[in-house]
Amino acid sequence: MIGLLYAPAFSHKYSHFIKNAGNLKLPYQQGLHVISDMRCSTTRGRYSFQAFISGKLNMQNYFTGSEGPRDELCVIANVFSNMAARVPRARKREPDYQEKLQQIEQELCAFCDYVEQVGFSPEEVRYICAPYTNILFPRSTLKLVLQYITFISLIAGVIYSSTQMTIINLHVAALGRIFLIQLLPVWDWTKIFYENCLVNNPMYRFSLTENDCITCETLDHIERISDVDYQLLVEKYLSRDGPVIVNDAMTQWPVMKTDNFYFDNVTSIYLDDEKLSDTVPCVLTSNLRPGSSDLSAFLKRVLSPRSDKWFVHWQNCDIHAVKALRKLSQRPYFLAGSVPPAHFNWVLMSSQYNGKTFRRLDVDTGLIIISQLRGVTMFKLSPHTPCNTSCPELHGELHEGEMLVLANYMWSLEYCPGRFMDNVAIITETVWEEYKKM
């Protein structure tokens, strides 16, 4: 009884499918693959298409005990499987290039229409088409490498351009110094900080050798001179790596003719100038433990009556700060006009400090001049390697109004502020080309 009910239903539901079977555009194998993907619960053998149409099949017996429409699809699968086995394959003309393109275009258009009807999102469409797009448009390794290199180059260019800006460069340098200070408990980097280079370069010609140490072997003290000209200074002292103290170099400076010069004359240069309100020194060292590189905030602490027994030194790298500090000093009379202005300068100050430790100043190679505005500064000059084994250390004191002049190609500089007194000194660093001509 069940089979009798299924037979009319089958004929009514799939009659249009059978009638149009001959008009199918898809190849047989493709149609079989599509139909064979449907999982059937039973397999009832193969039947010919003609037997199925002519009604020679006993439909009542066939459908008796079937599971419904899924088994009906199995009937169609068996019929088309038998058709594919019986019908001879006819040789077809190979389509030309234009026909293949038209066929591909028609299939793509049909796919696009289907996607619009179903309502797939663009992300879902890209996911579905990924296997085909990766084959048609492969991303070569070289292309990926070039894209990564371009991206990294752009980032590096932005960072480099930012560091060339004075304000950003100074702040980055300040953050770097803070990081290095925090790193000290983990790694003592001060041993390599004062080295001229991390790795010796054999191609670098301008370096000290044992032959250069001949000039400093006989030095045992630092001379004090006055009324000197540039030629005598170079020939007798600087060309022979000998430091010298000039007694009368500062007698005409305005700050030396007044008794009202004090720490506030120095701090006001930075606190009263808007351009220097956010200046960041390249080096700032003090026993007051500055919490940051904000020089203005630190100078206010220096002026506080509660601050005692302190010292501080800092290096000005900002061009505005370098120029501003020139208000306290003048060009020494003995320098020739060919000597350029100082590119960096330092400030050394202390009040009632009684420490005995000499502190090293990492000054640039060139012409170094220390001007003592107030108090006393004790200094020590140590020869660089390899001359440290044959040349002695030179010690001296710089008193108010005196100026120490040296070419530090041979020497490293350390200082200690005068004990139990107020001290102010200025150091200038100048690129000096005369040494290279000797």
Amino acid identity of 112?
Answer: C
> Which tokens belong to 434?
């005369």
The phi, psi pair for 354, rounded to 5°, reads -120, 20
Which residues neighbour 283 within 8 Å (Cβ) at sequence distance 6 or greater? 177, 313, 314, 315, 346, 362
How many CB atoms lie under 10 A from the CB of residue 190?
A: 10
CA gap 328, 254 in Å, rounded: 8
pLDDT tens figures, 295-334: 888 888 888 888 889 999 999 988 888 999 988 888 999 9
Dihedral sign, Cα of residue 279, residue 280, residue 283, residue 286: positive
**pLDDT at 26 > cutoff 50:** no
Based on its alpha-carbon atoms, the radius of gyration of the chain, rounded to whole angstroms, reads 46
CA gap 260, 5 in Å, rounded: 122
What's the predicted TM-score (pTM) here?
0.55
pLDDT tens figures, 331-372: 999 998 888 888 899 999 999 999 999 999 999 888 999 999
CA gap 127, 133 in Å, rounded: 10
Percent of the chain as helix, strand, coil, to the nearest 5: 45, 15, 40
What is the DSSP-derived secondary structure letter of residue 341?
Answer: P
> Which tokens belong to 248?
């009368």
**pLDDT at 46 > cutoff 50:** no
What's the mean per-residue pLDDT of the chain? 76
Identify the residue with better confidence: 251 or 38.
251
